[in-house]
Structure 1
Amino acid sequence: MPVYTVHAPISNSVGLAATDRFAFVRDGFHFWAAILGVVWLAWHRLWLALLGWIVLMAALDFGMVELGVGGGAVLLVDILLALLLGFEAATLERWTLSRRNWHQLDIVVADDEEAAERRFFDRWTARQRGLSNDQLAVDRGGPPPTRDIPGQPFSKPPALPHSDIIGLFPDPGAQR
């Protein structure tokens, strides 16, 4: 099963409002990073890694051609470096996030990114409920509690329905 690391930007409070910015980075081999390294790095906005990749590839290819190394050996070195990029692509993503002042929140093991998000947020919201009395994390399944305080008519509980039908048409057989 794939392993995902969860990252969040460093801020004063990592609350429910910041959850849409969380980043899930899959660990393991990235096929498209190995096949189309420059495009993959640009797509993921890893600009410093992209610059380093271009400089490394140009310097190695130029140096090997100047030393008189054959074309097959140059191609083999390029393929090996592409495989290295495929294996280390997630590390480059995590490194870029840490440079941008993001921190790692958790590690999640799941079949895909959606399952990783569900598993992470289940654990994370349970911890958030335990740490603070966050009103957004409270279970909203039942009606709000009411009190019957004398002199305050707004505090009376709602009246119970008198008919057995609940919905848009409470009178059976009525015109729509």
Structure 2
Amino acid sequence: MPVYTVHAPTADGADLRATDRFVFVRDGFHFWAALLAPIWLIWHRLWLALIGWIVVVVGLELALLRLGAGSAALFWADLIVAILMGFEAASLRRWTLSRHHWRQLDVVVADDAEAAERRFFDRWAAKQRGIVNDQQAVDRGGPPPTRDVPGQSFSRTPPGPGSGIIGLFPEPGGQR
């Protein structure tokens, strides 16, 4: 089962307003990072890692050419760099997030990214129950508040329990 790390920006903090910015990074081998490393690095905006990858690949190929290595040696060297890139892609994303002052909130084990999000937010929301003064939370379960405005239907108080009426009829024996 894949393992995901959850990261949050520290500037916003790990509160309710920052949940849409949380990042889930899957640990393990990334096929597209191994196959198309520069495009994968650009897609994930890992600029320093892209520069490092270019320096390593160009330096390695120049060193092998200086040593007089053949095309087979260049192929195997490129293959090894691609495999290493596939295994270390998640670490590069986590490193870039930590450089931008993001912090790791949790580690989640799940079948896919959606299940990881669901599992993390279930656990995280249980810890956040103590939040007070949340302006975005709205209780939609109760009736609207009554106001003392003369002539408005919402201003009338409901009949008390002493009226003896149970049901939907306004008065005993009245029209149906």
Give the TM-score normalised by structure 1: 0.79
Deviations 1:31-58 (A, max 9, x none): 0000001111111100000000001000
Distance 1:138 1:102 in 2: 26
Aligned positions of 1:153-172 closer than 5 A: 153=148, 162=168
Distance 2:41 2:17 in 1: 29
CA root-mean-square deviation? 2.8
Distance 1:123 1:157 in 2: 44
Distance 1:158 1:48 in 2: 67
* Counterpart for residue 142 of structure 2: 143
Does the 8 Å contact 2:7/2:24 carry over to 1? yes
- Cα deviation for residue 159 of structure 1 reads 5.4
Does the 8 Å contact 2:12/2:18 carry over to 1? no
Residue 10, structure 1, aligned to residue 5, structure 2: no
Distance 1:136 1:5 in 2: 29
* Counterpart for residue 24 of structure 1: 24
Distance 2:107 2:83 in 1: 25
3-state SS of 1:103 partner: strand
Q: Which runs of 5+ in 2 are unaligned?
A: 160-166, 170-176
- Cα deviation for residue 133 of structure 1 reads 2.2
- Cα deviation for residue 141 of structure 1 reads 6.3
Code of the aligned partner of 1:69? A
Q: How many residues were matched structurally?
A: 158
Q: Which runs of 5+ in 1 are unaligned?
A: 164-176
User: Cα gap change, 1:73/1:20 in structure 2, threshold over 3 Å: closer, same or farther?
Assistant: same
Give the TM-score normalised by structure 2: 0.79
- The structure with the larger Rg is 2
* Counterpart for residue 174 of structure 2: none
3-state SS of 1:153 partner: coil
Aligned positions of 1:2-151 closer than 5 A: 2-11=2-11, 13-130=13-130, 132-135=131-134, 140=139, 142-143=141-142
Does the 8 Å contact 1:128/1:134 carry over to 2? no
Deviations 1:126-154 (A, max 9, x none): 10113x225468684632597x9xxx637
- Cα deviation for residue 74 of structure 1 reads 1.2
